[in-house]
Amino acid sequence: MTKASSPGRPPKAEQRLSKQLILKTAFPIVQGEGVDALSFRALADQLGVTPMAVTYHAGTKKQLLSDLVEHAFAGVLDGVDEVTPVERVRSIMAMYYSYALRNANLLRAILEDVTLMSADLKDVAAELKANTDQLENSDGGDVLVHLLIDYAHGFVLAASSGANNPLTIEDYLCGIDWILRRAAGDREAL
């Protein structure tokens, strides 16, 4: 004979609920199905808790998405150590592209709500600006930075649009190289 559940507090979950566990559970949902598939009910079902418990630990859905973006793009500039501005910009764009492609559904969420940008993503833009300002044909403003970032976004959205998409990082870098040659005033370099 099974014991009937009593009203009141739900039974204690098998594992201790934490923000980290929620993020670990939410990440594959967003990666596989997109941001619209992410709900506190779906998380609660997977974690064996109530939606209110998830909300207590994660905050609002926007806060949860912001935390996922922070986690997904953490360290995007790690390993970028090239010396010349052209090499550095190319390396930054290659790293950003690889992170953005892996996290295309979160990128879509950021493009819909730019307040989701993490500090690491803001650092990407600042680092690009610092290096593009040193190029011969720099506009002295943000046009080149916006061009590079928008090109990356467009390429990520195209490359992540289907399972049989033939676009590669080499295709992407070919376009980055073309832009950088013109910005550096050298149509033959790279």
Percent of the chain with pLDDT over 70: 90
State CA 146 to chain mean position distance.
Answer: 17
Q: What are phi and psi of 57, to 5 degrees?
A: -85, -30
Q: What is the average pLDDT value for the chain, to the nearest integer?
A: 90
Q: What is the pLDDT of residue 163?
A: 75
| 92-to-13, 113, 120 alpha-carbon distances in Å | 43, 23, 12
Give CATH superfamily name and number for 19-72.
Homeodomain-like (1.10.10.60)
- CATH 1.10.10.60-classified regions of the chain: 19-72
CA separation for the pair 138, 184 (Å, rounded): 8
Reported as a pLDDT band with limits 50, 70 and 90, residue 6 is: very low
Dihedral sign, Cα of residue 51, residue 71, residue 108, residue 165: negative
| 108-134 per-position pLDDT tens digit | 999 999 999 999 999 999 999 999 999
Q: What is the pLDDT of residue 42?
A: 95
Region 43-69 average pLDDT: 96
Reported as a pLDDT band with limits 50, 70 and 90, residue 100 is: very high
Region 81-90 average pLDDT: 94
Reported as a pLDDT band with limits 50, 70 and 90, residue 16 is: confident
| 135-160 per-position pLDDT tens digit | 988 888 899 999 999 999 999 999 99
